[in-house]
Amino acid sequence: MKVYSGSEIRNVVLVGHNDTGKTMLVSQLLFNAGATTRLGRIEDGTTTTDFDADEIDRKHSISSAVGCAEWKNTKINLLDTPGFGIFQMEAKTAIRVADAAMVVVSGVTGVEVNTEKMWKFADEFDLPRLVVINKMDRERASFQRALDSLQRKFGKNVVPIQLPIGEEKDFTGVIDLVSMKAYKYAADASGKFDAIEIPADLKANADSWREKLIEKVAEGDDTLMEKFFDQGGLSQEELMDGLRREVAHREIFPAVLASASHNIGGQPLLDDIVALLPAADEIKTVDGTDRNGQPITFDRRAEAFPAALVFKTFSDPFSGRVSLFRVYSGTFKSDATYWNTSRDHEERVGKLQVLQGKQQIPVAELKAGDIGAVAKLKDVRTGDTLATKDHAIVIKHLAYPEAAIAFAVEAKARGDEDKLSSAIGRIIEEDPTIKFSRDEQTKEFLISGQGQLHVEIVVAKLKKKYGVDVILHPPKVPYRETITKAADAHGRHKKQSGGHGQFADCKITIEPLPRGGDFEFVDEIFGGSIPRQYIPAVEKGIQDARVKGYLAGFPVVDFRVRLKDGQYHDVDSSEMAFKIAGSLAFQQGMEQARPTLLEPIMKVNISAPAEYVGDLMGDLNSRRGRVEGVDAEDDMQTVHARVPMSEMLTYGSTLRSITQGRGSFHMEYSHYEEVPRNLQEKIIIDSKKKKEQDQTAAH
């Protein structure tokens, strides 16, 4: 493959809801451009960009992938992205490095929830857009209904530049409103077509739509508006120049038509990508920070110093870890040394590659604006910048969201814990939205992700890719215990047997602390009733006992112990004896201090269309939640609430059901509160049963 400069490169990210045919559309474009020898199919797992075993099994994209085509002396880098909400950061990461977005909608369903999310992401990065109404061959497909849906959501700036020849099973081609030519396609999905005159029965409608297009283009430019009024229209060249300018300024979002599975509309779409979407060097500068964190701006020219952003990492069975990057300035060369400015160390870069899905094509160099990959970098992670030591700039990447849901995980086979940690570490390199941690209280290992399906896919990957079989459980709720009144207590340990005996005596006062106070130990011994060397042993006995709990085996928190008095024996006292005495005093104190259970309360933010908010608030009330407010943004609303963690463990599936998949939520720990008395007894009984079962299993 030849080396392309920025003006000859188009970086296009395909985004949209799941099942709109983005992956199939990539396969269609690659095939029509001659980059692949066959039109891949989702059904048999032969598409170029869904090459992971899980993607083939599930028949939908899980991660973003890259394919490239050469068309009319232009290199087109196509970034295919998943359409499920739980993988939206995969899409956003690809949007971050693209210069334009291709928003794909189904001709049957029109705009869906993730179409809206991806549109907002494209707005966030100021990306020009081309809209593809795909699946025009399907039953109930409708150009007009899909267009109405797009214009209702995104405004009248979504403007068709093509019309369909037929719909549903009769969809056989497209009419180009710019060239005013029609393209009729062969029925065998070969992509062969005939350029014909617009059919007579469609000509009047095409003339009307072209007139609307010309008016829309002329609106954006005073000179074109004058010509439009003087001449009654625009020339082909004026229309094309004006359209390209309006697309770049995000004043027009052209809409085209396709059937990726029947290979209709591929070549005109490739033409539109080259003619209408911005080249990789149209934005002349890129923002970053210097080694002191101060903002700087630098050139995107190929002649400038080299700088590239690593935007994705994946594991290849043959090449190992592969890092995908976009070159923002300068020229990157194979077998050269660069500086990882994010981690401040030198990095040796081996053979550069361009990717065709999983196929790696070696290249000698990549110029500013291009997208490539390199394998086996020593210490480079997603989001790192590669540059030179003399120009240690850092290109800003994305902040990853906190996980929405966590599951406890355990290896099925004993001894696989180390293997599990290593495998999950490699998965996190590929997907930084996954988190892996150990709960210090429950001692469980936790996998956290953006949803239940997200975590289940990690589990499947652990088994298939790394040979680690695991079991998932909902995480244990980390309840805690505390006291509600002060109490005096006495602990006395006396044991006499042959030789030295054991003796220790201590008197304590136990009293509540404010929530979050954890534990305090105050030594108030005067006159040596307990020698100094034994006082830490009393505290240790209380600490050991409080961790084991009193009511239900949960740690006791938010209390203070005052050590008031005690007795000792010159011969029989020891640290162990005072540790036992401290523990006994704690147990007696808990009996009298009215112990109670605490539960973690989560701060929950739920975003959903306005029509579902009433049902969501009713559901939160049934979960003992307290709604604290609702923020409105366009037709989406965000409900802010505090809800007990125990009520949120399976919330994801309920939210999907209530909002028909259009809602999302995020939660994080807020504080602890007392569990209502009517629920405490059940928690205590369940905890004791679990303890008995564990003891039986151990024997």
Rg (CA), the chain: 33
Cβ neighbors of 676 (< 8 A, separation 6 or more) are 624
Q: Are 94 and 83 in contact (CB under 8 A)?
A: no
Q: Are 112 and 609 in contact (CB under 8 A)?
A: no
Per-residue pLDDT, 404: 66
d(CA 161, CA 386): 40
Cβ neighbors of 528 (< 8 A, separation 6 or more) are none
Closest CA to 404 of 444, 450, 373: 450
E strand spans, 330-466: 331-333, 336-340, 345-349, 352-356, 359-363, 365-367, 371-375, 385-387, 394-395, 405-411, 435-438, 445-449
Q: Are 326 and 386 in contact (CB under 8 A)?
A: no
Burial class (CB in 10 A: 0-12, 13-18, 19+), 424: buried
CATH architecture of 481-593: 2-Layer Sandwich (3.30)
Closest CA to 382 of 126, 102, 664, 92: 92
Per-residue pLDDT, 65: 95
- Residue boundaries of the structural domains of the chain: 8-209+250-276, 285-395, 405-473, 481-593, 598-678
d(CA 393, CA 287): 9
Per-residue pLDDT, 438: 84
Per-residue pLDDT, 407: 85
Q: Are 366 and 3 in contact (CB under 8 A)?
A: yes
Q: Which amino acid is at 131?
A: V
Give per-residue burial for 627-640: e unless 16+ CB within 10 Å, then b: beeeeeeeebbbbe
Per-residue pLDDT, 536: 97
d(CA 67, CA 26): 8
Per-residue pLDDT, 644: 94
| Locus of tokens 């480079």 | 380
d(CA 281, CA 274): 14
Burial class (CB in 10 A: 0-12, 13-18, 19+), 577: buried
d(CA 506, CA 587): 13
- What phi, psi does 571 have (nearest 5°)? -100, -45
Burial class (CB in 10 A: 0-12, 13-18, 19+), 422: exposed
Per-residue pLDDT, 498: 66
Cβ neighbors of 124 (< 8 A, separation 6 or more) are 95
Q: Are 101 and 221 in contact (CB under 8 A)?
A: no
Closest CA to 108 of 148, 144, 140: 140
CA torsion, points 95, 99, 103, 104, in degrees to nearest 10? -90
**pTM: predicted TM-score of the whole model, two decimal places:** 0.78
CATH superfamily of 285-395: Translation factors (2.40.30.10)
Closest CA to 162 of 126, 136, 127, 191: 136
Closest CA to 350 of 380, 387, 377: 377
Q: Which CATH number fits domain 405-473: 3.40.50.720, 3.40.50.10320, 3.30.70.870, 3.40.50.300?
A: 3.30.70.870
Closest CA to 513 of 479, 548, 480, 540: 480
CB atoms within 10 A of CB 425: 10
Q: Are 314 and 279 in contact (CB under 8 A)?
A: no
Per-residue pLDDT, 13: 98
Strand partners, 560: 511, 520
pLDDT, tens digit, 9 for 90 and up, residues 416-429: 888 888 889 888 88
Return the CATH class of domain 598-678.
alpha beta
Q: Are domains 405-473 and 598-678 of this chain identical in fold?
A: yes
DSSP letters for 115-176: HHHHHHHHHHTT--EEEEEE-TTSTT--HHHHHHHHHHHH-TTEEESEEEES-GGG--EEEE
DSSP 433: T
Query: 575-592 and 535-548 are packed helices; what angle lies between their axes, rounded to 10 degrees?
Result: 50
d(CA 44, CA 46): 6
d(CA 549, CA 596): 11
DSSP 370: -
Per-residue pLDDT, 474: 80
d(CA 265, CA 446): 47
**Measured CA distances, 3 to 11, 70, 141, 303, 348 (Å):** 15, 11, 41, 14, 22
Cβ neighbors of 620 (< 8 A, separation 6 or more) are 604, 606, 627, 639, 641, 643
Cβ neighbors of 254 (< 8 A, separation 6 or more) are 130, 131, 159, 160, 161, 243, 247, 272, 276
- Give CA angle at 636 (630, 638), nearest 5°: 30
Closest CA to 594 of 682, 481, 678, 515: 481
Cβ neighbors of 590 (< 8 A, separation 6 or more) are 483, 510, 550, 556
d(CA 366, CA 94): 18
Q: Are 572 and 612 in contact (CB under 8 A)?
A: no
pLDDT means per 10 residues in the chain (699 residues)? 93 95 97 94 88 84 94 98 89 96 95 89 96 96 96 96 96 96 95 95 96 91 82 86 95 97 97 97 88 85 90 87 95 96 94 95 96 94 93 89 79 84 88 86 81 85 89 85 97 84 96 94 93 96 95 94 96 95 97 96 88 95 96 81 90 88 80 94 89 70
DSSP letters for 252-310: -EEEEE-BTTTTBSHHHHHHHHHHHSPPTTSS-EEEEE-TTS-EEEEE--TTS--EEEE
Task: Confirm or reject CATH 3.40.50.300 for domain 8-209+250-276, answering yes or no.
Answer: yes
